[in-house]
Structure 1
């Protein structure tokens, strides 16, 4: 990995999230000077205690970004809307317009390198083969996947005429200590004896331990080969759905799921439920969603051959080991701790008033 010797001013968006927390630790170990862009309504106490400079602003409000990007050399754009029941327009405002606002502000401030967080969902789910960076973007029709694909295309267009070194990462679904969105929910279900398997359970799940994702981000930030490229960053030795839930159940003292529900009826039922909830303008998530059914019920694998070859990326934490580490957090009452990221997902959007 290329090593930029001088201490750099680094900006992170989405710093209060799971990935942001782990990335900050690694950057502080490198001695970097870290600034976080935090929403005006967001609790930043944990960042301040860690010695992170906090600048208030909102990526959906381009006029608020000047102080955040000033004198910055490197930006990690992690912020995004996911996992909440909000309309497509809100997702687009954050994931697409917000990314464009930040990228253009970074260009104006002459930032040296910009690392953009995309998603494995941009390819679409359920192909059952190792997807590569050359595969077309065919996102499924849910707000998160659609807008992450739109933002990926946007950044790739912008970087064609930009002097700013730009890297796009397409991470797998990451988990680890502090993960309430994925691991916490899965662990709670098997702990309560309510776990179930969609279909046969022999499908690969696209999960990766959070510190391996962080490794990918550091390579994107410092490696000379990274600029101008998009990379899948995940674990290419996935567990099956059954293996994953069994391992989580064992780690948290839960019950291995034995109930199998047919995949296609659940998928189509979720599709209908989403349509009904959207039509009725219900402001909470249906019990099953299309994205959730696809994520857990279909076969999803992603190739990391390009990142391995060009950046030297190599997952270091096996998924079974990662499950044990995340389970330690869960077993210590992690789900009872207040969430710092939920507020930001439900916050009013500055750009929406325009």
Structure 2
């Protein structure tokens, strides 16, 4: 029997798609999971459970024993939070997994990073793997430092590591980030766009991230970095596609940049006292008010990566939301939905 692949982050948004995807393709898996995580879907897949947290070096060493490969997908991703929390999970946790992998002599180590490590993109340059990163927030900084540590383990210790940088996740299974902004808010009767939808974003269907990981397990070159993303799209193109799939055109409130930034600034200031993430945190601005022209040509060429057309992924996402019954939650949003929607 082949040695298992250790997956961290198995109960997150990516993990819920990644684990079934890898099992379908014949991989034997072991998942490092916290006792508080919802991991009921894993045993029916035949996934072995190892209890612990990436921040616990001893638990990581025990989980990795006997594994041939590591897919390190655990991480803290939010648009708001404490500096120490991001670095404890994203950097210190990665260090624990790398060191355990080195001691165990694993044959391959894949670190799941993010294209967002580049910080604020320049509009006149395509974001490829050699684009110079200048991270802005603690999430981006902690992921970039973890990337560099991962690649240093390859150079200095001979550990066969590589880095995947996915785009903005979307697809069934999440109520956060891209899903919320482009699907859920609209369905709940909060149709907002900024700067008339002219800015460009970098979506990747969640199953395509799993595809990229599976391909990297077999074809990825140690010491390399690969962008895993679908084609970049303007917000307007995304909105038009979603409207077409829903069968009605939605008038969206066009929020000017200055107004959204002022709102985000005030909401983020208030969060110091509420200790709750703002609905529009200030760090979200980097993803909304900039143009992310991302290239995944390297992954296509070297790994054979083929992204799902956005319309196909969006259709699956909307079907999932429909099954959940997501819609306007109160009289005001029901009225907004009625006023702003027009059948195509």
TM-score band, normalised by the shorter chain?
Answer: 0.7 to 0.9
Q: Which moved more, 1:94-103 or 1:195-204?
A: 195-204
Residues 185 and 196 of structure 1: CA distance in aligned 2, closer, same or farther (over 3 Å):
closer
Q: 1:116 offset after TM fit, Å?
A: 0.1
Q: Which residue of 1 aligns with 2:340?
A: none
Question: Aligned match of 2:93 in 84, 91, 98?
Answer: 98
Question: Aligned match of 1:285 in 277, 282, 287?
Answer: 277
The TM-score with structure 1 as length reference comes to 0.85
Question: Aligned match of 2:257 in 246, 253, 263?
Answer: 263
Q: Secondary structure at the match of 1:11?
A: strand
Question: Aligned match of 1:232 in 227, 231, 236?
Answer: 227
Pairing 1:130–2:143 present:
no
Contact 1:126/1:300 (CA < 8 Å) preserved in 2?
A: yes
Residues 288 and 20 of structure 1: CA distance in aligned 2, closer, same or farther (over 3 Å):
same
Rounded Cα–Cα distance in structure 1 between residues aligned with 2:212 and 2:163:
11
Q: Which residue of 1 aligns with 2:212?
A: 216
Question: Aligned match of 2:317 in 313, 323, 326?
Answer: 326
The TM-score with structure 2 as length reference comes to 0.87
Alignment map for 1:16-31 (pairs within 5 Å): 16-31=11-26
Runs of 4 or more above 6 Å deviation: none
Q: 1:126 offset after TM fit, Å?
A: 3.9
Pairing 1:198–2:194 present:
yes
Question: Aligned match of 2:77 in 60, 66, 82?
Answer: 82
Which structure has more RCO (C-alpha within 8 Å, separation ≥ 6)?
A: 1
Pairing 1:156–2:134 present:
no
Q: Which residue of 2 aligns with 1:347?
A: none
Rounded Cα–Cα distance in structure 2 between residues aligned with 1:54 and 1:252:
40
Q: 1:281 offset after TM fit, Å?
A: 4.7
Q: Secondary structure at the match of 2:250?
A: coil
Give the gaps of 5 or more residues in structure 1.
1-5, 337-354
Q: Which residue of 1 aligns with 2:338?
A: none
Contact 1:239/1:319 (CA < 8 Å) preserved in 2?
A: no
Q: Deviations over 1:184-230 (max 9, x none)?
A: 4532211233111111312211101112222211121111x521101
Contact 1:119/1:170 (CA < 8 Å) preserved in 2?
A: yes
RMSD, aligned α-carbons: 2.1
